[in-house]
A and B are shown apart, each in its own frame.
Chain A
């Protein structure tokens, strides 16, 4: 079983719809992250959470919201999807400082 699981893996939806992407982890890490990947831009941080009561905006949080339902669960919502939010979305976790982040396999989201 994967340590970091993202659902769904693929989603096609229409402009204006509300979408939720879910992430769960079995690593026991406190720190969780949401990124999006666009061609030529690498991974950009949307939101991150250091524990259930701590949520922080990343560099591109506009148009997104998150919920940390439990230590193991961190979901990303697009309240009203727009086409330029079409991208590959990754969830990641991290343990101690100077340890790498661990990524899920991503959600490919297409907004028509």
Chain B
């Protein structure tokens, strides 16, 4: 049973607008969360992370929000650019564990 779920397989957004990607988790022991970005023919690359002691973390155009009570996190990309077109994976782990659980991914397409 998947412990990390990304219920939207795809998202299409116009260049310059906001992209919002969602992720839900079921394991209450998760307290470290990451987003990875993947281009075709490449491996996933780390984008941004957040620990459970925070509810927001920002890095340039990328912001991750964490709602622990709802077991939900989201990634905001503002403004979206054509180079952001990729597959985005949400991942999570307990802080005392070196293993990650991944969601199925959301394919983002940024339209010019």
Binding site for B on A (CB under 8 A): 4, 31, 33, 35, 40-45, 48, 50, 58, 90, 92, 94, 97-98, 100-106
- CB-CB under 8 A from B27, the residues of chain A are none
Cβ-closest 3 pairs across A and B: A103-B43, A100-B46, A42-B102
* B interface majority secondary structure: loop
Q: Which residue of B lies closest to A4 (CB)?
A: B43
CB neighbours (8 Å) of B103 from chain A are 42
20 examples of A-B residue contacts, CB within 8 angstroms = A4-B43, A31-B98, A35-B102, A42-B89, A42-B102, A42-B103, A43-B44, A43-B89, A45-B99, A45-B100, A48-B99, A50-B98, A97-B95, A98-B32, A100-B36, A102-B46, A103-B36, A103-B43, A105-B42, A105-B43
Cα A77 to Cα B102 with chains together (Å): 23
Which residues of chain A are within 8 angstroms of B9 by Cβ–Cβ distance? 40
Contacts of A94 in B (CB 8 A): 98
How many angstroms from the CA of A42 to the CA of B5 in the assembled complex? 10
Q: Determine the chain B residues whose CB is within 8 A of the CB of A33 once the complex forms.
A: 99
**Which residues from A are CB-within-8-Å of B44?**
43, 90, 103
Residue interface mask B93-109, A partner, CB < 8 A = 1: 00110111011110000
A98, B41: Cα distance in complex, Å: 27
- Alpha-carbon gap, A102 to B91, bound state (A): 13
- What's the dominant secondary structure at chain A's contact region? strand
Of B32, B34, B42, B104, the most chain A CB neighbours within 10 A belong to: B104
Query: How far is it, in angstroms, between the C-alpha of A92 and the C-alpha of B102 when the chains are bound?
Result: 13
Contacts of B2 in A (CB 8 A): 42
Residues of B with C-beta under 8 A to A92: 43
Query: Which A residues lie within 8 Å of B46 (CB)?
Result: 100-102
How far, in Å, is B4 (CB) from chain A's closest CB? 8
Within 8 Å of chain A (Cβ to Cβ): is B45?
yes
